[in-house]
């Protein structure tokens, strides 16, 4: 039996990374490690957090059709390697992709049975506060992320489920419930 692909997307600061990490740990579901052309943030490790590639390396992999999905986001490439996804699914493992909305739509086109889950905050003010409280990005990057968030929110209707992340524990429970329901439904 093949595994099921779950895609979690949402604006930067929506909590998608925190939620998916907790759920992966609780349900023992692997996260497909994405590749990116951006520089590592403090504490990030190549092969654990991302596969950090140069822009040229990333573009070479695009030319060679090595990506399941990819997109240019905030001025950097992000993508999921085809081999990583197919290997997990063929072994019968569910897998979670935590990717941007462009990649989410691509994933659904490639795998119609993929379950798309959109994560967002209750409003823009909360989103901005979360981005600023991270203290990892310059003002210019924060403004770019807020601008992009407006575009990303327009994709919400394309997703199968929406999680409004007001309280972390509730959002975690919602994602677990979705995964359990969709996994059993497919079985």
What's the predicted TM-score (pTM) here? Answer: 0.84
CA 45 to centroid of chain Cα atoms: 18
Supply the DSSP symbol for 30.
P
What is the average per-residue pLDDT within 23-34?
86
C-alpha to C-alpha distance for 96 and 5, rounded to whole angstroms = 6
What is the average per-residue pLDDT within 25-49?
89
C-alpha to C-alpha distance for 183 and 187, rounded to whole angstroms = 6
pLDDT of res. 64: 97
Residue 134: CB partners within 8 Å, gap ≥ 6? 13
pLDDT of res. 20: 94
Question: pLDDT tens across 123-143, in order?
Answer: 889 988 988 888 777 888 888
- The CATH code that applies to domain 5-185 is 3.40.50.300
Q: Look at 15-19, 27-31, 36-40, 143-147 and tell me which has the smallest mean pLDDT.
A: 27-31
Query: Domain segments of the chain: what residues?
Result: 5-185
Question: pLDDT tens across 58-112, in order?
Answer: 999 999 999 999 988 878 999 999 988 988 898 888 999 988 898 899 899 989 9
C-alpha to C-alpha distance for 16 and 161, rounded to whole angstroms = 13
pLDDT of res. 187: 47
C-alpha to C-alpha distance for 143 and 79, rounded to whole angstroms = 23
pLDDT of res. 5: 93
- Would you state the structure tokens that stand for residue 30, as one six-digit string? 């692997």
Q: In this prediction, what percent of the chain has a pLDDT beyond 70?
A: 97
The verdict on whether residue 16 carries a ligand-binding annotation is: yes
The verdict on whether residue 12 carries a ligand-binding annotation is: yes
- Would you state the structure tokens that stand for residue 39, as one six-digit string? 């520089």
The verdict on whether residue 30 carries a ligand-binding annotation is: no
Q: Name 116's bridge partners.
A: 7
DSSP for 34-88 reads PEESSPPPTT--BTTTBEE--HHHHHHHHHTT-EEEEEEETTEEEEEEHHHHHHH
The verdict on whether residue 11 carries a ligand-binding annotation is: yes
For 82-187, where are the E strands, in sequence order? 95-98, 115-120, 161-164
What is the average per-residue pLDDT within 116-128?
92
pLDDT of res. 185: 55
Q: How sure is the predictor about 184, in pLDDT bands with cuts at 50, 70 and 90?
A: low
- Would you state the structure tokens that stand for residue 21, as one six-digit string? 């990490």
């Amino acid at each position: 039996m093949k595994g099921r692909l779950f895609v979690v997307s949402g604006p930067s600061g929506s909590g998608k990374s925190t939620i998916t990490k907790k759920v992966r740990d609780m349900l023992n579901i692997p996260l497909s490690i994405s590749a990116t052309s951006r520089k590592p943030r403090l504490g990030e490790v190549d092969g654990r957090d991302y596969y950090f590639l140069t822009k040229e390396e990333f573009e070479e992999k695009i030319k060679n059709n090595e990506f399941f999905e990819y997109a240019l986001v905030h001025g950097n490439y992000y993508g999921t390697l085809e081999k990583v996804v197919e290997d997990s699914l063929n072994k019968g493992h569910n897998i979670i992709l935590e990717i941007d909305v462009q990649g989410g739509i691509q994933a659904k086109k490639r795998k119609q049975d993929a379950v798309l889950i959109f994560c967002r905050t209750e409003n823009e003010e909360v989103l901005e506060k979360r981005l600023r409280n991270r203290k990892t990005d310059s003002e210019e990057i924060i403004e770019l992320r807020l601008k992009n968030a407006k575009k990303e929110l327009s994709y919400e209707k394309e997703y199968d489920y929406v999680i409004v992340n007001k309280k972390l524990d509730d959002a975690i429970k919602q994602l677990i419930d979705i995964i359990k329901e969709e996994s059993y439904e497919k079985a």
